[in-house]
């Protein structure tokens, strides 16, 4: 097998966890061969990638690469894959990663297998991947000169390695057309410090919370538990929370140790994002709600009484 190239996305100088999971997959597919990592613009994120399985890190530097520009990133990825004669290109199965991989695959006229949970070496390479928001697992074979795939978050653990990678900065060729699509502004989510995708505990509210104001009780419990706040789509449609808080098929896929779902019925599309949770506590006044079949624990009752009671009990137990 030829070289493997892994796109490592990062934020604020730190490689994304799912990108490290991509490196672990690359290492697994090429145990003795080179595992190249591509980092775009973010020099700080190149640090320590050898300890996660990269053997060589390519750092793309270009004056025009300040803002995220998916076409530019796709061109850089495609050009580097061609130059390295990479057999496999792996990216993170995030919106940003899939956007870049899809564009790179289209440029090269190659198929793209997004959101893989397992990849088996061989000719052809075979994958298991999430479809329909995770409610279906597809087995597929990639018949292509180069396999382009992204790894679903939390499917393959990031694995520390012993190596030290060399870092090779280079200036990619780009023109104006590559920069036509780019991020021009960012509006920060009005949220606490815990990221929903990475949180160990998530407290979510659904339509049963009743109003934007009702989320104060959810936020209070989340604050006490060091948890992230999530919600259902009914809530984002009602405008009570921003879409960045939404858990589900069209929201964030989470994998906490504990998911506390308050006033959420447990629709398939919601559970598509929540089924990676190790334990689920459902708080719902309807003992027959669909979420009960997925829940490990349940409290049947009005969340406006149950949630503050849990918060009060936590405070009492902590002597606060
Ligand atoms: C293509 C597509 C994609 C979708 N993507 C997503 C997605 O990503 N995420 C998502 O969440 N949904 C998604 N949906 C919507 C999904 O089908 C459901 O409509 C939605 O999840 C319902 O949200 P809910 O559970 O908050 O509301 P409901 O289904 O209305 O449930 C409310 C629950 O609250 C309980 N309740 C009410 N009052 C109280 C109270 N005081 N105390 C305790 N319990 C109470 C009720 O018993 C009920 O079980 C998608 C739908 C489609 C078609």
pLDDT tens digits for range 140-192: 999 999 999 999 988 999 999 988 899 999 999 999 999 999 888 877 665 55
CA-to-CA distance for 280 and 296, rounded, in angstroms?
5
Residue nearest to atom 29 of ligand 1 (CA): 265
Domain spanning 4-179: which CATH class is it, in words? Answer: alpha beta
pLDDT tens per residue, range 199-219: 999 999 999 999 999 999 999
Which of the listed residues 251, 267, 276, 309 should we mutate to test ligand 1's pocket, taking the one with most ligand atoms within 8 A of CB?
267
CA-to-CA distance for 89 and 116, rounded, in angstroms?
13
CA-to-CA distance for 288 and 111, rounded, in angstroms?
43
The answer to whether 43 and 11 have CB atoms below 8 angstroms apart is no
Phi, psi of 28 (to 5 degrees): -65, -40
Which of the listed residues 130, 233, 282, 301 should we mutate to test ligand 1's pocket, taking the one with most ligand atoms within 8 A of CB?
233
Residue nearest to atom 35 of ligand 1 (CA): 263
Record: fold of 201-317: Rossmann fold (3.40.50)
Tell me the mean pLDDT in the region 38-64: 94
Provide CATH 3.40.50.620 ranges for the chain.
4-179
pLDDT tens per residue, range 268-320: 999 999 999 999 999 999 999 999 999 999 999 999 999 999 999 999 999 87
* Residue 193: pLDDT band with limits 50, 70, 90: low
Provide CATH 3.40.50.1220 ranges for the chain.
201-317
CA-to-CA distance for 302 and 238, rounded, in angstroms?
20
Extract long-range pairs of 118-123: CB within 8 Å, 24+ residues apart. 118/155, 118/156, 119/25, 119/28, 119/29, 119/149, 119/151, 121/1, 121/29
Give pLDDT, residue 190.
57
């Amino acid at each position: 097998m030829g070289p493997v190239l892994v796109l490592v996305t990062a934020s604020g100088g730190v490689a994304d966890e799912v990108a490290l999971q991509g490196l672990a997959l690359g290492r697994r597919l090429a145990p003795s061969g080179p595992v190249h990592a591509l980092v775009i613009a973010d020099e700080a994120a190149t640090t320590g990638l050898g300890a996660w399985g990269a053997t060589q890190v390519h750092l793309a530097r270009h004056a025009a690469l300040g803002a995220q520009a998916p076409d530019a990133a796709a061109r850089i990825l495609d050009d580097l894959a061609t130059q390295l004669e990479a057999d496999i290109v792996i990216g993170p199965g995030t919106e940003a990663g899939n956007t870049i991989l899809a564009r790179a695959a289209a440029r090269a006229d190659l198929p793209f297998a997004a959101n893989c949970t397992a990849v088996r070496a061989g000719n052809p390479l075979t994958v298991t991947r999430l479809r329909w928001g995770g409610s279906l697992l597809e087995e597929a074979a990639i018949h292509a000169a180069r396999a382009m795939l992204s790894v679903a978050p939390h499917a393959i653990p990031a694995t520390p390695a012993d190596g030290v990678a060399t870092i090779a900065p280079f200036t990619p060729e780009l023109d104006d057309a590559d920069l036509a699509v780019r991020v021009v502004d960012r509006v920060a989510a009005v949220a606490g410090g815990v990221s929903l995708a990475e949180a160990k505990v998530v407290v979510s509210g659904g339509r049963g919370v009743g109003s934007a104001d009702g989320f104060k009780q959810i936020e209070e419990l989340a604050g006490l538990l060091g948890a992230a706040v999530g919600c259902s789509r009914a809530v984002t449609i009602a405008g009570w929370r921003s879409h960045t808080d939404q858990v589900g098929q069209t929201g964030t896929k989470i994998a906490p140790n504990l998911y506390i779902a308050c006033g959420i019925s447990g629709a398939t599309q919601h559970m598509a994002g929540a089924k990676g949770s190790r334990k689920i506590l459902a708080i719902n006044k309807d003992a027959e709600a669909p979420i009960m079949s997925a829940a490990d624990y349940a409290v049947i009752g009005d969340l406006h009484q149950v949630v503050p009671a849990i918060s009060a009990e936590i405070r009492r137990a902590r002597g606060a």
